[in-house]
Amino acid sequence: MNAPLRLPAALDYPERADVQEGPVERWLIGVQASVMARGARLRAWRLRGILRAVRRHEARFAAMDEGELQAAGRDISLKLREVPNRLPLRVTGEAFALIREVSARVLGKRHYDVQVLGAWAMLRGQIAEMRTGEGKTLCATLAVTTAALAGRPVHVMSVNDYLTARDAEEMSPLYAFFGLSVGVVQEGQDADLRRALYRSDIVYGTNKEIAFDYLRDRAVLRRSPGNLRRKIDRLMRPGTEPLRLRGLHVAIIDEADSVLIDEARTPLIISGGETEEGGFDEALFREAMQVATDLIEGEHYRIPRGLRRIEMRPAGLDHLDEIAEGREDAFGIPVIREHAVVQALNALHIYHAGEAYLVMDGKVQIVDENTGRVMADRSWSDGLHQMVELKEGLEITKARETLSRITYQRLFRRYAHVGGMTGTARDAAWELWSVYRLAVAKIPTNKPDIRRFAGDRLFTTESRKWQAIAARAREFHEAGMPVLIGTRSVTASQQASARLAEAELPHQVLSAAQDADEAAVIAEAGQAGRITVATNMAGRGTDIKLGAGVAEAGGLAVILSERHDSRRVDRQLEGRCGRQGEPGRVEAFLSLEDELMRGKGAANLRRAGQVMSRLLGASSAGWVLRLRQKNVEALHAEARRDLLEQDRQLSRTLAVSGELE
């Protein structure tokens, strides 16, 4: 008699369903967000009950030996699983106390009370704002271990492969003590290895790598939707492509505002192989670029104030129609013609070398605007990458077919639980709640903040600004203070380096052009007399420890060479000094010719600043840059809201058509 047919165990793929709010619901959420954005300090104060719950068990665990602690871990794991989808304060406090004791023995690091508060905030679905140097990596282990002991797969996201590998390696002895497996997802791993890694209790990876693996799963699910259908496919057709992730359970996000806010302006797109059908041929690229070169801004097209976007004007569309009259090739099709010309204009006027990309080894390498790092093997979609290659005189690569797309807004709203940590969340509190339903808790510092902030120094020209920066760097250098000069682009870093070289000041440059030794360069930036030039410091993740005698000399001096589009990014750079109560100094040297003042809509403000500078002195025009920064922040927020609305509309369209993504 044949054995009975047995189907494989159910392959579930948990994730929260998309919520489609109507206009009234969105308005109410906006009102609620305004209230939630104001209670960051009070929210942190309300978390203090976890400290009492932890202290209740400290003496008991301190008296246990290793075997007893492991047995206690198994017992707590069972307690945590008794209440699905909820972590009670009483049991979580016991878990935190145990993890704290084990960490002190295994890692030699005992969690501070403020780290306990930060971890509890994350487990309550909040963003913990913690100053740089407060030990966010160790803080996360409390939340990560507790969630994993509760049987929930955890994704711990950081901003680059180095940090994910470093954090996983440093913290893995703690996880191993509790019998928890750890996987590290990194660029370049094959599909089979990744599937095995995602079976771990805890998975470390960059937000981009995990997001793209999720998109690959969505492509599989679209071809074979439904758990039952996939079970049968795997039984009857062993070659059926398996999924990578185990669903979206728990996400703990480092530099959360950078991931959830700054990177949320660009949709994530996964492409397949090179395609000829439906793509553009080289002749179309070249003709569109030639036409775009001859178009006149203001007459044929416009660049909306503060936005990185091209909009064709009626006169421009009429001009294209005249050029294409009677044509029967691809350029004769209006929608293709307009799209190709707009992408050529984007390549010419929006995406600039040294800022959006670098040309390395004969290829266009995209630079992550939020971290300043090169994103190897990434390419822009819809012909933009090919247009940039054409502009730079490089060989044009084949276009790729778009298989799946999603925004960070929709991705993280699908996780069953999201928590995060960053040094700069309060400025984005309204958006974090209105989009993700994430409240911000301002966690106090472990030691008092004694940094000194000097008033902004404003110059009418960029040249005078760099002269002043070099002179100030010399003063700090001679006083034995290390100096960190922050820039917003590779080009600005090169300018800074040139001025320092002219002044015969030894220095190190850290930018997207040379990030292999990033951690080593940053780690040495606190040595006496060291001068370091670095692009956007968001998410660098390596502590700058002061060398011998530096604290007595005044600590690390941070010089902001210009304002970024977001005040949060400036605060991230400022946070590089003064860690754990150490001394430090922050100064900003700005000019009316900085990148922030070059965009659309800045001309009138720049002229007003120049007039005030002549009448009352340069320092009187500082309000111009602050106002411009606020305007750009508002424009970027509007762009993210537009993208989210477009994504909602696309989601509704695909739902009607039966597609998943």
Q: Are 63 and 136 in contact (CB under 8 A)?
A: no
Q: Cα–Cα distance between 191 and 249 in angstroms, integer?
A: 21
Task: Tell me the CA distances in angstroms from 399 to 289, 342, 405, 555, one per residue in order.
Answer: 16, 16, 16, 51
pLDDT at 12: 65
Tell me the domain boundaries of the chain: 36-268+409-442, 276-398, 452-625
Alpha helices in 407-566, H assignment, sequence order: 408-413, 429-436, 462-478, 490-502, 518-523, 550-553
Beta carbons within 10 angstroms of residue 90's beta carbon: 12
Polymer length of the chain: 661
Two domains, one topology: 36-268+409-442 and 452-625: yes
More confidently predicted of 381 and 75 = 75
pLDDT at 97: 96
How does residue 52 score in pLDDT terms, banded at 50, 70 and 90? very high
Domain 36-268+409-442 classification at class level = alpha beta
- The token pair at 502 is 């002219």
More confidently predicted of 577 and 198 = 198
User: Burial, 315: exposed, middle or buried (Cβ in 10 Å; 0-12, 13-18, 19+)?
Assistant: middle
How does residue 517 score in pLDDT terms, banded at 50, 70 and 90? low
How does residue 95 score in pLDDT terms, banded at 50, 70 and 90? very high
Average pLDDT of 315-338? Answer: 85
More confidently predicted of 429 and 269 = 429
Task: Return the axis-axis angle of helices 89-106 and 66-81, rounded to nearest 10°.
Answer: 150
pLDDT at 279: 52
28-37 own/partner pairs: CB under 8 Å, 24+ apart = 29/433, 29/434, 30/434, 32/433, 32/434, 33/429, 33/430, 33/431, 33/433, 33/434, 34/430, 36/429, 36/430, 36/433, 36/439, 37/426, 37/429, 37/430, 37/433, 37/440
Fold (topology level) of 276-398: Pre-protein croslinking domain of SecA (3.90.1440)
Average pLDDT of 513-538? Answer: 73
Task: Please report, rounded to a whole number, the percentage of residues in the chain having pLDDT higher than 90.
Answer: 33
Beta carbons within 10 angstroms of residue 3's beta carbon: 5
pLDDT at 232: 45
Per-residue exposure over 608-622, b if at least 16 CB sit within 10 Å of its own CB, e if not: ebbebbeeeebeebb
More confidently predicted of 621 and 279 = 621
Express each pLDDT in 23-37 by its tens digit: 777 778 777 778 777
Express each pLDDT in 547-588 by its tens digit: 888 999 999 999 999 888 888 888 888 888 888 888 999 999
Is 449 within any annotated ligand binding site? no
Average pLDDT of 12-19? Answer: 76
Express each pLDDT in 367-380 by its tens digit: 776 556 676 667 77
The mean pLDDT value of the chain amounts to 82
Is 115 within any annotated ligand binding site? yes
pLDDT at 638: 77
Output the CA angle 146-151-153, nearest 5 degrees. Answer: 85
Task: Please report, rounded to a whole number, the percentage of residues in the chain having pLDDT higher than 70.
Answer: 82
pLDDT at 355: 77
> Residue 491 pLDDT more than 70?
yes
> Residue 1 pLDDT more than 60?
no
pLDDT at 233: 53
pLDDT at 103: 96
Q: Are 561 and 487 in contact (CB under 8 A)?
A: yes
How does residue 647 score in pLDDT terms, banded at 50, 70 and 90? low
DSSP H/E element including 222 = helix 207-223
Q: Are 66 and 471 in contact (CB under 8 A)?
A: no
Express each pLDDT in 133-143 by its tens digit: 888 999 999 99
> Residue 604 pLDDT more than 80?
no
> Residue 9 pLDDT more than 50?
no
pLDDT at 619: 64
> Residue 4 pLDDT more than 50?
no
Q: Backbone dihedral region of 361: left (phi > 0), alpha (psi from -120 to 50 degrees) or beta?
A: left
Phi, psi torsion values for 182, nearest 5 degrees: -130, 135
The residue among 98, 94, 154 whose CA lies nearest residue 122 is 154
How does residue 280 score in pLDDT terms, banded at 50, 70 and 90? low
- The token pair at 86 is 């909820």
> Residue 219 pLDDT more than 70?
yes
Beta carbons within 10 angstroms of residue 188's beta carbon: 9
pLDDT at 539: 42
> Residue 59 pLDDT more than 90?
yes
Q: Kindly report which listed range (166-170, 264-268, 394-398, 461-465) carries the lowest average pLDDT score.
A: 264-268
How does residue 239 score in pLDDT terms, banded at 50, 70 and 90? low
Express each pLDDT in 390-425 by its tens digit: 999 888 887 666 667 788 888 898 999 999 998 888
Q: Cα–Cα distance between 48 and 51 in angstroms, integer?
A: 5
More confidently predicted of 619 and 150 = 150
Per-residue exposure over 259-294, b if at least 16 CB sit within 10 Å of its own CB, e if not: bbbbbbbbbbbbeeeeeeeebbeeebbebbbebbee
pLDDT at 339: 87
Is 137 within any annotated ligand binding site? yes
Is 136 within any annotated ligand binding site? yes
How does residue 145 score in pLDDT terms, banded at 50, 70 and 90? very high
Alpha helices in 256-415, H assignment, sequence order: 256-260, 282-294, 314-324, 334-349, 384-391, 408-413
More confidently predicted of 495 and 274 = 495
More confidently predicted of 469 and 41 = 469
Is 239 within any annotated ligand binding site? no
Fold (topology level) of 452-625: Rossmann fold (3.40.50)
> Residue 618 pLDDT more than 70?
no
pLDDT at 221: 75
Is 134 within any annotated ligand binding site? yes
